[in-house]
Structure 1
């Protein structure tokens, strides 16, 4: 796609129909699109591209903007053969601020096409940030995008009490083209006239409502919101257009930012801020969620908020924010490798990287060891490693990655006595079956590492900055092991 962002005109349209596949998109009333704001944001990103590209620690096969800051993934959806992914973006700096929504799409969740910024703050109306949100299909099959409108505290807001930010409400956008590239706001004043104001239904200004998310159950469409204080606000749509909502109270007692409800068979996975989750049941009649179990989707602090989509195969695919990267390199943060999420026989989530990532494989090396160590011939800082350890209960086993040539330095992934230590992050895990096997699937991508343990029963992401020259791989085991390693290609031109 030609990236001529300035050519995107300012479009306000009324009762115009567009055909998307077999469905019709129709705007009832005007959609507001600010081409100048989009162009300015894209220029801000482009200014930092040379700095970002020059950083040797910048990942090459993780999804991320061309430059500048990003955080929460937002509004993932699958339509017309494309996976669409939005994310929080600061186009003007490598630190947080000026929240816009970036946008990318992919055919396979591996190769991504970066698209123009999709959502911008309407600053002339006093809107400073477009916080997180989601996409949803209305009752007519048409896609919508919703975000939380946020403003800085101004003099006119002093009577609202002590506030850090003013959470104006939730705002609806609709697509303006068949490819879902441009999105128009359904209000010209999102700060003062949002689609769903925050102060309705008994909520006060100091109780922020944000990060709208949607799901359907029992033929009904629901919206849940992140909120301060106890309880998870839940609304039910009263019409197909999703312009009328009824407050159903609190879905459950657990709540935080960026909530997501993912259907997994007869159960629901309720995901919260910082990778926390609950598995349980949802009753659409009472609009209540009942928790049965819970935990963390990832065992490391660098893994944060998620978004998810469902593809044509029925796979539920999650995208998460990986944080804690260094700021002063023209870029900051990225999206974790897309994961297929399901429930295991024990009722706990199982997460595995999308198998399509094998498209990036270079030449494979395979080695076996028996009660010893071996340094692999293949080295690098962009690798996939699959290691299977048998008789893991006999002693120690694991990998030493980003190993120095003389072996004096390395980042160790060590299993010993029921605990896997991913160079400082410790995970309780048991070997499987009579053979007491432990499997590790490790992705190294410059400053990012992701580890999938025992077929995705546990995962760990780490941000790492070893010496650039350290690229070796060593496998060690007091039992038997088989290791396969592939160099990984970049997804960017």
Structure 2
């Protein structure tokens, strides 16, 4: 039987969802049914549908007491909302049902595992937040919390590790039928480590080992871990808080990292080999993956940034969206991401420009001042729901441009820029002219070792976002866009003559 708290949330979202026109949402990125969305939760296949749960505050467009929102899809691009799955309605989760994951049990029931948050006063009078791992079991729509929650309590945490930073359980089933659960925790040195628990039934859990250690290298607390095997390697994804920059690989604040290494399944031993950023843009966090029925590993992240997510009008009917689903592979030892192939089924209205000249703009100097003034546009190459494939090369192979600028979501006043600087091996995204009225993070740079004079870029736009794929997906830069959807121009600028090949599709 659902609680009064959950019934009220379900009634609220059913009423207020109707006040949000479909054309005021992203077309093919999941947004909250109403109110606030952050981390993806419980990304899975159950029955014949993909399920996505998400951190959710239905009552306004700012973070609040965390519920779990719920949506289903047949293709990961078109979503149908279901009633909220969880609400903070028990003593152990009264201050929030935080992030987690999901799995199908042997008997066909659906299990959600999540972090229950409870604040309580400790000996010195301070109020502290305690986090434990809890489960709810259901049928894909309605879920009952387990009578003996929490199932992973603080007494299972290793000596010296934090009892207040203990969250975001990621569950999976092993070939022998047993289960593992990876939980983010803070180590005695103050930085993150990931704890591994094991179970035969998903209900009774034992601590197995410390699975991975940060040792103060990549930020402090590691959030939202995901682990899987891919092409003979173990792949660990996590989102560190409080990162320090390292060149253009990692940026300040809340980031995302991928660790690729060897994994011995028999002993659950993961040996780190290579560390990289997952997304080099502004808005990407808390990614989760699934293995599709046809064997692809697909990742979705929260397309926002904790350092900027408070800078919006809370009176908006919704805030937050998920990224494009991305197929993952390993290429040259790096994690490679590419838009899910189902996106190509949405393509229509092909426009192609072959060997088109973009003439140098005299006042486009090698500075940070981008402008669409004097930029080139091409007939039919515009829009805010588009899939754009672009190849850029110098008109004279002996006279390479210093800077090539692609301006999207543009009109005479507004534009967001993708800047290619091949001599420096730098790509930059810049949304300071996108219509934002706050001095939030507007720029990011990535170091991309381009090979040769030809640079290929794929840009996917969906009303309020852009996702830019370089080098066939070896580097990705993502940003949400506040620009009014009426700004649909796409312009090209260069400081030296360049030749472009463009294939542009509308996404219907």
The TM-score normalised by the length of structure 2 is 0.79
Q: Deviations over 1:423-442 (max 9, x none)?
A: 2321211334x5x3322111
Equivalent residues of 1:399, 1:475 under 8 A apart? yes
CA spacing shift, 1:409–1:213, aligned 2, 3 Å: closer
Change in 2 beyond 3 A, CA 1:139/1:118: same
- 2:185 touches 2:194 (CA, 8 Å); kept in 1? yes
Cα distance change on mapping 1:409 and 1:247 into 2, 3 Å: closer
Query: 2:136·2:145 contact (CA, 8 Å) conserved in 1?
Result: yes
Q: What's the counterpart of residue 292 of structure 1?
A: 273
Q: Which residue of 2 aligns with 1:413?
A: 418
Question: Could you say what secondary structure the match of 2:487 adopts?
Answer: coil
Matches of 2:378 and 2:317, distance apart in 1: 34
Comparing 322-331 with 386-395, which one deviates more in the overlay? Answer: 386-395
Q: Distance in 1 between matches of 2:83 and 2:275?
A: 37
| Alpha-carbon distance change, 410 to 209 in structure 1, aligned in 2, over 3 angstroms | closer
Question: Is the alpha carbon distance of 1:299 and 1:262 closer, same or farther for their aligned partners in structure 2, counting shifts above 3 Å?
Answer: same
TM-aligned CA deviation for residue 357 of structure 1: 1.5
May I ask how many residue pairs the two structures share in their alignment? 438
Matched, 1:68 2:35: yes
1:349 is paired with a residue whose SS is strand
Q: Which sections of structure 1, spanning at least 5 residues, go unmatched?
A: 1-9, 11-32
- 1:135-186 Cα offsets, whole Å, 9 max, x none, are 1244666542101111233xxx32398554121x2112222x3xx1222212
User: Does residue 486 in structure 1 map to residue 489 in structure 2?
Assistant: no
2:169 is aligned with 1:212:
yes
* CA deviation vs aligned residue, 1:69-117 (integer Å, no higher than 9, x gap): 0100011112333111111101112111111111111111111111111
Q: Which residue of 2 aligns with 1:383?
A: 386
Select 2:222's aligned residue among 240, 253, 256. 256
Structure 2 counterpart SS, 1:362: strand
Contact 1:368 1:483 in 2 (8 A): yes
1:403 equivalent to 2:406? Answer: no
Deviates more, 1:68-77 or 1:410-419: 410-419
Cα distance in 2 between the residues matched to 1:161 and 1:453: 52
SS in 2 for 1:242: coil
- Distance between the aligned counterparts of 1:438 and 1:233, measured in 2? 42
Paired position in structure 1 for 2:181: 223
2:275 maps to 1:270: no
Equivalent position of 1:470 in the other structure: 487
Task: Give the corresponding residue for 1:455.
Answer: 472
Distance 1:160 1:310 in 2: 47
CA–CA distance in structure 1, aligned partners of residues 230 and 87 of structure 2: 33
Please provide the CA RMSD for this pair: 2.6
CA separation of 1:367/1:74 partners in 2, compared to 1, >3 Å: closer, same or farther?
A: same
One of 77, 88, 101 as aligned partner of 1:110: 77
1:172 alignment partner in structure 2: 135
Other-structure match for 1:446: 463
Does 1:247 pair with 2:207? yes
Residues in 2 aligned to 1:48 and 1:75: alpha-carbon distance in whole angstroms: 24
Paired residues for 1:112-191 under 5 Å: 112-123=79-90, 127-138=94-105, 143-153=110-120, 157-159=121-123, 162=126, 164-167=128-131, 169-175=132-138, 177=139, 180-187=140-147
Pairwise CA distance, 1:479: 3.5
Q: Distance in 2 between matches of 1:207 and 1:288?
A: 26
Helix, strand or coil for the counterpart of 2:10? helix
Change (3 A) 1:162 1:279: farther
After superposing the two structures, state which structure 1 stretch, 446-455 or 335-344, moved more.
446-455
Measure, in 1, the Cα distance between the counterparts of 2:279 and 2:56: 23
Residue 98 of structure 1 contacts residue 129 of structure 1 at CA under 8 Å; is this kept in 2? yes
- 8 Å CA contact 2:298–2:326 kept in 1: the answer is yes
8 Å CA contact 1:376, 1:472 repeated in 2: no
Q: Which of 356, 372, 382 is the matching residue for 2:342?
A: 356
CA distance in 2, matches of 1:46, 1:135: 24
In 1, Cα distance between equivalents of 2:77 and 2:168: 26
- Unaligned 5+ segments in structure 2 are 215-220, 240-254, 360-375, 431-442
Indicate the SS of the match to 1:257: strand
The separation in 1 between residues aligned to 2:31 and 2:102, in whole angstroms, is: 20
Q: Does 1:283 align with 2:273?
A: no
Secondary structure of the corresponding residue to residue 65 of structure 1: coil
TM-score under structure 1 normalisation?
0.81
